[in-house]
Amino acid sequence: MLPAQPDRLEHPPAALRAWRDTDARLIALVASDPLIPLITSVPTSGQPSDIASYLERQRSRSASGQGYSFAIADVHTDEAVGNIGLWTRDLDRGRASIGYWIAAPHRHHGYAAAALQALTRWAVTLGDLARLELFVEPWNEASWRIAEGCGFMREGLLRRWQKVGSERRDMWVYSLIPDRGDD
């Protein structure tokens, strides 16, 4: 069983918090994004029932043992601007992975880097976590620069690693090894 999800993690300009029904506006906005619905479970329909299902899935991630899903919000206004998740499928093996996205109108304001720093700082406190991983498409320079700026190291190219839409894509794999002082 996973530890409880924290109510709020902050690293200005971002605050990580649980998803709320009022965040439906953000999901409706990104439903038409050319990439986000391809690599996440964001619905492409933008229909209220699909958005409500998405929000409920995000809220149930830790209870179901899948990991933690946070809305990335502006630390001052609390408006949701994106998503970040810690996926714990391999936590019993000492590994977890992180994924994030920011809606197009909110990019280039430091939210992704701040959210990654906040989540990483909390994640390394989870038990026997020996390795955090990120997977980024090689063309996504903004994302891999954020990872590198937050202390993640590029380890290599995983060829045809992930299906994106209808095709398999290469991914850079990044890792952060928590300093335990006793390794």
- For the whole model, what pTM was predicted? 0.92
Strands 14-17 and 131-136: unpaired
Query: What are all long-range contacts of 40-49, with beta carbons under 8 Å and residues at least 24 apart?
Result: 40/83, 40/99, 40/101, 48/24
For residue 111, what pLDDT is reported?
A: 98
Instruction: Give 87-116 pLDDT, tens digit per residue.
Output: 998 988 999 999 999 999 999 999 999 999
| Alpha carbon distances (Å) from 148 to 117, 145, 178 | 11, 5, 15
8-11 sheet: strands from edge to edge: 8-11, 14-17, 67-74, 80-87, 95-102, 131-136, 167-176, 153-164
pLDDT in tens, the chain (183 residues): 678 899 999 999 999 999 999 999 999 999 998 888 888 889 888 899 999 999 999 999 888 888 999 999 999 999 999 999 999 989 889 999 999 999 999 999 999 999 999 999 999 988 789 999 999 999 889 999 999 999 999 999 999 998 877 889 899 999 999 986 555
What one-letter code names the amino acid at 152?
F
Q: What share of the chain is helix, strand, coil (3-state, %, to 5)?
A: 30, 35, 35
For residue 181, what pLDDT is reported?
A: 58
